[in-house]
Structure 1
């Protein structure tokens, strides 16, 4: 039984500030070690619960954050970009379930470091009229491939907004959001214990978990951060401008919608 663990950093316990998420400073080096330990906790929980193989997807920023030499040697690391499935890279290998570790709330939410894909590009994203953050977007991508999300960890705002999407998912709340850059966190040790226990519990309910499936084709709608971003994104002929910052496009699948969003995210660097 193969499990995919997708790891982000903003939802990691103790992480509250952008400096902790960006390479090139001591704060980031500590945070990526915490991220790696939380990934290891999920790996252990998955194996405790009966997994026969675990793939760990490094899903933050450049996708080069997890410390490979400190990762549980039983797991296989999926890192580096670009890759077609982004934060679900590794799902091509016939996985039974997905676990989301260190995830965060969607853009405009009150969660710690909340954003959707790219905080400088997108203010809000909807698929078929429903607003999604990264967990929802990639959970729907996994669901399209028949794979359910069975475990997730992050702050309380993330858990609250994400729980309705995945009714059978086990959540480990690692910190209480007190603001965009502040939280009350569990200790790294307590967090890892909670994640391991939650991941093990999730393996027990795997058979009852249903994939998140959206009706096709997908109608994608996004709100850009600025009219300048909308100007740039509309260079894609497939996008239709609704107003100064709102755009729409149709996609044959959730995968195609997510891939388009990731392309637009990469384009946004042209305005930096």
Structure 2
């Protein structure tokens, strides 16, 4: 059994402030170690449960946060950008299960450091009429590629909005949100142990399942609310997009993968206005 672990930083135990997510300071260096340890705990649990192969995808910011020397030697790491599948790079290896470690709630929720892909660009993303965060977007992409989202970790708001989207998935709550940058957290050691144990049990519980059947891709309608009208001006230079109002855009895409790739391209375009 192959497992792909996609790892973000905002949902890691002990992380509450944007400073902890930005390279170039002591708090970030500490947070990236916690991120590394939680990802490695998930990997070790997967191996203990019987996984034959584990890939870990660094899915935060520039995708260069994880510390390779701290991982189980059997792990393969996916680092750096650009990459076609973004936070789900590694699906090319046809994993059976996907774990989302350290993920966060969607934009405009009450989760810790909540956002969707790019907090300075996107205020809200809706796909086929439903609000979607990063886990929903990338989880549908994983399903299209034949992988099952089986384990989620992060804060309680993230769990409440995401767990119902993936039948049979398990959630490990490592902290509770009191607001955008406050709450109550487990210690890093306690979070790692809970994640390791859950990962082991999830892999063991799926040992006799059959995998590999892709979900058929279908046309998706994405409605995107951006943070400023200037961003809407910029994004609508792309003929694919239709402008609904000053800050709302829409486009159709042939699959969840194309929705994700389009949003990531728009996110990259947004840096022109910074």
Using the TM superposition, give the Cα deviation of residue 70 of structure 1 relative to its aligned residue in structure 2, in angstroms: 1.1
Q: Distance in 1 between matches of 2:18 and 2:113?
A: 7
Q: Structure 1 residues 99, 148: closer, same or farther in 2, change over 3 A?
A: same
Aligned length: 272
Q: Distance in 2 between matches of 1:9 and 1:126?
A: 23
Could you say what secondary structure the match of 1:126 adopts? Answer: strand
Q: Distance in 2 between matches of 1:255 and 1:77?
A: 22
Deviations 1:40-95 (A, max 9, x none): 10001111111000000000000000001112211000010000000000111111
Q: Distance in 2 between matches of 1:184 and 1:73?
A: 33
Residue 226 of structure 1 aligns with which residue? 228
Q: Structure 1 residues 147, 70: closer, same or farther in 2, change over 3 A?
A: same
Residue 219 of structure 2 aligns with which residue? 217
Q: Distance in 1 between matches of 2:4 and 2:183?
A: 28
Residue 197 of structure 2 aligns with which residue? 197
Q: Structure 1 residues 98, 63: closer, same or farther in 2, change over 3 A?
A: same
Q: Deviation above 3 Å: which 4+ runs of structure 1?
A: 208-215
Q: Structure 1 residues 130, 141: closer, same or farther in 2, change over 3 A?
A: same
Could you say what secondary structure the match of 2:139 adopts? Answer: helix
Residue 14 of structure 1 aligns with which residue? 14
Could you say what secondary structure the match of 1:149 adopts? Answer: strand
Q: Distance in 2 between matches of 1:111 and 1:254?
A: 24
Q: Distance in 2 between matches of 1:138 and 1:208?
A: 21
Q: Is the 8 A contact 1:84 1:259 kept in 2?
A: yes
Using the TM superposition, give the Cα deviation of residue 212 of structure 1 relative to its aligned residue in structure 2, in angstroms: 9.8
Say if 2:195 is the partner of 1:184: no
Deviations 1:2-32 (A, max 9, x none): 1100000000000000000000000000000
Structure 1 residues 1-150: aligned runs within 5 Å: 1-150=1-150
Structure 1 residues 162-181: aligned runs within 5 Å: 162-181=162-181
Residue 254 of structure 1 aligns with which residue? 256
Q: Is the 8 A contact 1:169 1:209 kept in 2?
A: no
Using the TM superposition, give the Cα deviation of residue 154 of structure 1 relative to its aligned residue in structure 2, in angstroms: 0.1
Q: Is the 8 A contact 2:146 2:211 kept in 1?
A: no
Q: Distance in 2 between matches of 1:86 and 1:151?
A: 19
The TM-score with structure 1 as length reference comes to 0.97
The TM-score with structure 2 as length reference comes to 0.96
Q: Is the 8 A contact 2:107 2:119 kept in 1?
A: yes
Using the TM superposition, give the Cα deviation of residue 211 of structure 1 relative to its aligned residue in structure 2, in angstroms: 8.7
